[in-house]
């Protein structure tokens, strides 16, 4: 039976007693059927990961006492995702898988063909936290509030962005990604694809490069995960394993 992992924002140190979240209490008690005295691991990117045990557990609250540190903090990849606001289930899935793939920042964007008018950032952040607890990473990606695509690009820090450019001539992603090093980002449009003028505006920026993901048209959520996997394999931390 694997040891559950719980992410806490608090400062972690051996001997500390810290409260968990209501969601963690529900997951530990109701889903996993754990109880007081059972082992868990508590972690964050700043302090690393600690052995711990449950010292209080009710329906909506819990607390842990920390033991020895088992993993020290370590640098993690600065791979970012800009993704058009998709329908709820698709976007939830993208956030979960992007977390598993090591993404550091998830920026939902509003495009001309976006069919969703609201993004629940709090729910997406909770999904990212849960995925980080499951996949054994130390950090949880930052999920930013949705903004118009042009606003996200106007505020960008200049790190290279590759954009999935369906239905137009573009270099294969492999050749472009192989020349990159982190930080970099992957940009994916909505279910109906980018408006042509919108894509033209994005790719006029020196840091945005259109790329192709092969001969087939992919669903937006598939393109998001496929592109991230390529970037991790050729420019990210998969190269070190």
Which pLDDT value is given to residue 117?
Answer: 82
Are 99 and 140 within 8 A, CB to CB? yes
- Cβ neighbours, 10 Å, residue 209: 21
DSSP code, position 81: E
Are 93 and 127 within 8 A, CB to CB? no
Are 8 and 44 within 8 A, CB to CB? yes
CA dihedral 25, 31, 35, 38 (to 10 degrees): -100
Q: In the chain, what are the domains?
A: 5-71 (2.40.240.20), 79-240 (3.40.1280.10)
Adjacent-strand bridge partners of 118: none
3-state secondary structure (DSSP) of residue 56: strand
CA 231 to chain CA centroid, nearest Å: 14
> What phi and psi, each to the nearest 5 degrees, are found at residue 80?
-115, 155
- Cβ neighbours, 10 Å, residue 189: 28
d(CA 227, CA 191): 16
In a structure prediction context, what are the per-residue pLDDT tens digits for the chain, which is 241 residues long?
Answer: 689 999 999 999 999 999 999 999 999 999 999 999 999 999 999 999 999 999 999 989 999 999 999 999 998 889 999 999 999 999 999 999 999 999 999 999 999 999 888 899 999 999 999 999 999 999 999 999 999 999 999 999 999 999 998 777 889 999 999 999 999 999 999 988 899 999 999 999 999 999 999 888 899 999 999 999 999 999 988 876 5
3-state secondary structure (DSSP) of residue 235: coil
């Amino acid at each position: 039976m694997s040891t559950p992992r719980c992410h806490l924002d608090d400062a972690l140190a051996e001997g500390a007693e810290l409260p968990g979240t209501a969601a963690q209490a529900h997951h530990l008690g109701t889903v996993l059927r754990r109880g007081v005295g059972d082992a868990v691991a508590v972690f964050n990117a700043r302090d690393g990961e600690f052995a711990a045990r449950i010292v209080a557990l009710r329906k909506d609250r819990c607390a842990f006492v920390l033991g020895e540190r088992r993993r020290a903090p370590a640098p993690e990849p600065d791979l970012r995702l800009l993704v058009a606001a998709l329908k709820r289930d698709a976007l939830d899935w993208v956030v979960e898988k992007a977390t598993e793939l090591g993404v550091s920042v998830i920026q939902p964007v509003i495009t001309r063909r976006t069919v969703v008018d609201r993004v629940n950032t709090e729910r997406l952040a909770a999904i990212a936290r849960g995925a980080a607890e499951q996949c054994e990473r130390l950090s949880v990606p930052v999920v930013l509030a949705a903004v118009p695509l042009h606003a996200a690009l106007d505020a960008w820090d200049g790190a290279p962005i590759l954009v999935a450019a369906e239905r137009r001539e573009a270099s294969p992603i492999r050749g472009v990604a192989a020349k990159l090093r982190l930080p970099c980002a992957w940009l994916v449009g909505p279910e109906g694809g980018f408006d042509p003028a919108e894509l033209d505006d994005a790719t006029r920026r020196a840091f945005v490069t259109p790329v192709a993901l092969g001969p087939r048209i992919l669903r937006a959520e598939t393109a998001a995960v496929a592109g991230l996997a390529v970037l991790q394999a050729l420019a990210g931390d998969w190269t070190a394993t």
